[in-house]
Amino acid sequence: MGLSLKKGQALSLVKQDGKSLTQIRLGLGWDAVVPTTRGFFGKTKTTAIDIDLDASAILFDVNRQPLEIVFYNQLKSKDASIRHTGDNLTGDGDGDDETIEVNLASVSPAVAHIVFVITSYSQQSFDSVENAFCRVIDDSVSTSPEVANYQLTESGPYTAMVMAKLFRVGSAWSFQALGIPAHGKTPHDVVHAAAAAL
């Protein structure tokens, strides 16, 4: 189990021996709130709903200008250092619902920040979402240990979330938990909110 971060906390992605992590995976997950309704004779019943949230990575330069977006319609960055593993249309199942792999050593020098966002393509709000989280996994070793995780505690009438970011500190990278509410159907809609978090 990795280090649990609170909103705003950051962690340097450097190993105990001082070497930087080179290959990480960002896992994002969520569950749908299961509403309870009263049926005949006072019996309660629950009805599961599907939540189509999408995880994306928005790449920015040092001047906070967007360079490109890795998402369900562009599954890898132009230099192939960042790769989205595919769209989950329902949020069903345990663990990570969507993952984005980042080869930190190969990210273009023009990229200073990588912001991870979740958007609601179906425009369902985060009032319908629970247990949203993101976590960093070290894929540079065979056991793929979790390095850090961030559990989102907020809910509300917004349709997007700026979850976390990676940013350069010298020759290394750091990860910061953000949890900033936004509105948007696609990652293009939240570029401004993501830039404001830098």
- Total domains, the chain: 1
* Pair 103, 21: CB distance under 8 Å: no
pTM attached to this predicted model: 0.88
**Is residue 42 a part of any domain in this protein?**
no
CATH number of the domain enclosing 174 = 2.60.60.30
Q: In the chain, pLDDT over 90 holds for what percent of residues?
A: 65
**Is residue 43 a part of any domain in this protein?**
no
Mean pLDDT of 74-101: 81
What is the helix (H) or strand (E) element at residue 196, kind and residue range? helix 191-196
pLDDT at 41: 59
* Pair 2, 13: CB distance under 8 Å: no
**Is residue 41 a part of any domain in this protein?**
no
Q: What CA–CA distance (Å, rounded) separates 74 from 59? A: 13
Q: 13-22, 48-57, 75-84 — which is least confidently predicted?
A: 48-57
**Is residue 77 a part of any domain in this protein?**
yes
- The answer, yes or no, to whether residue 3 has pLDDT greater than 70, is yes
Q: What CA–CA distance (Å, rounded) separates 129 from 160? A: 11
What DSSP string runs through 130-193?
A: EEEEEEEEETTSTT--EEEEEE-----S-SEEEEEEEEEETTEEEEEEEEEEE--SSGGGGHHH
Give residue 79's domain range. 3-33+48-196
**Is residue 56 a part of any domain in this protein?**
yes
Tell me: the pLDDT tens digits for 147-169? 999 998 877 899 999 999 999 99
Mean pLDDT of 62-68: 98
3-state secondary structure of 15: coil
pLDDT at 65: 98
pLDDT at 91: 45
Q: 49-53, 120-124, 130-134, 189-193 — which is least confidently predicted?
A: 49-53
**Is residue 40 a part of any domain in this protein?**
no
**Is residue 101 a part of any domain in this protein?**
yes
